[in-house]
Amino acid sequence: MTRLRQRMIKDMQLCGLSENTQESYVGAVRRLAEHYNKPPDEIAEEELRQYFLHLKNEQQVSRGTSNVALCAIKFFYERTLGRSRTTLAFARPPREHKLPAILSRPEVQRLLTSIRLRRHQDCLGTIYACGLRRQEALTLQVSHIDGDRMVLHIHKGKRGRDRYVPLPQPTLEILRTWWATHRNPVWLFPAGAQAGRGTPLSP
């Protein structure tokens, strides 16, 4: 690991960024350096400008990917290096306004019944019933279920925040039945035997 990367990681830790965000930021700065085949602290202003044009016009990356690249590179230059870059002030892509695709109940049912593995079916069903993000469902622990109050306690969700979400009775029964098949003391959806049951299911 290079000195600059170590310094950036420590800066991100000081700012309280999550491990996932740190990984995304490091990856974005690494791709910038690989694009020009030189250390990121040696990249000039015009090269930064051309890089963001490259992402937009040639790679045609999504707004989300472009935004992560901008935030990561901006953090690296302004926080880690203490430098300002004019390009970073106006390279943010415009916000997209798209309505989400909403599945009907029969469509959701067909989707769930098409999944072969029980653990995947129940995990996806929990995501749908409780409105969870993928990583929140994968890392659910047995202790996160509050059957008395009918809620799930979500730890370190988006932006590292905890929250409670309603737990429908049918979903609670499904989770209890599923847990009885493996009885893992920690994870609600443990990884398969080949990965070891001490870890949660991975994407």
Under DSSP, the state recorded for 17 is -
DSSP states along 59-126: I---HHHHHHHHHHHHHIIIIIS----THHHH-PPPPP--PPP---HHHHHHHHHT--SHHHHHHHHH
**Residue-level pLDDT at 193:** 52
Q: Which two tokens stand for residue 87?
A: 């390009």
Which domains, and CATH codes, for the chain? 3-90 (1.10.150.130), 105-179 (1.10.443.10)
pLDDT tens by residue, the chain, 203 residues: 688 899 999 999 999 898 889 999 999 999 999 999 999 999 998 999 999 999 989 999 888 888 899 999 999 999 999 988 877 777 676 666 677 788 888 888 898 889 988 889 999 999 999 999 988 999 899 999 999 999 999 987 666 788 999 999 999 999 999 999 989 999 999 886 544 567 777 76
pLDDT for the residue 105: 84
Q: What pLDDT does residue 84 have?
A: 85
pLDDT at 144: 94
Rg from Cα positions in the chain? 21
pLDDT at 180: 93
Cα-to-chain-centroid distance, residue 104: 26
CB atoms within 10 A of CB 40: 23
pLDDT at 91: 67
Q: Which residue has the tokens 């072969």?
A: 116
Q: What pLDDT does residue 97 have?
A: 67
* pLDDT in the model for residue 1: 67
CA dist 84 and 28 (Å) reads 18
pLDDT at 195: 46
Q: Residue 152: helix, strand or coil by DSSP? A: strand
Helices and strands per DSSP (H, E), number in the chain: 9, 3
